[in-house]
């Protein structure tokens, strides 16, 4: 039995492009991004983003930025809610 990649390789270029374009479109439509709360480690369907910049006192080109996700409720438990402007 031939592998799918071999079957696709045997198609004429126009047909191969159509098949691959359709496959990519289908994959992008069905892909579900799953975020994990950095605090409780559970899935977060509608997460908040927390951004952290390291080396803040150094020149901007030496700084690094990373983004994490969390539930708003989890974030409020860790940070005093009265201090938040959200």
Kindly report, residue by residue over 6-43, the tens digit of the pLDDT. Answer: 777 788 888 878 877 777 676 666 666 678 999 999 98
Res 86 pLDDT > 90: no
**In degrees, to the nearest 5, what angle opens at C-alpha 80 toward C-alphas 74 and 81?**
75
pLDDT in tens, 50-77: 999 999 899 988 999 989 999 999 988 8
Res 45 pLDDT > 90: no
Integer CA distances (angstroms), 2 to 7, 10, 18, 28, in order: 7, 11, 20, 26
Q: What is the pLDDT of residue 57?
A: 93
């Amino acid at each position: 039995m031939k592998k799918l990649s071999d079957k696709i390789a045997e198609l004429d270029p126009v047909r191969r492009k159509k098949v691959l374009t359709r496959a990519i479109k289908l994959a992008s439509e069905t892909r579900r991004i799953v975020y994990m709360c950095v605090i409780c480690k559970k899935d977060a369907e509608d997460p908040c983003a927390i951004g952290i910049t390291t080396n803040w006192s150094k020149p901007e080109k030496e700084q690094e930025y990373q983004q994490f996700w969390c539930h708003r409720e989890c974030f409020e438990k860790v940070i005093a809610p009265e201090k938040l402007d959200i």
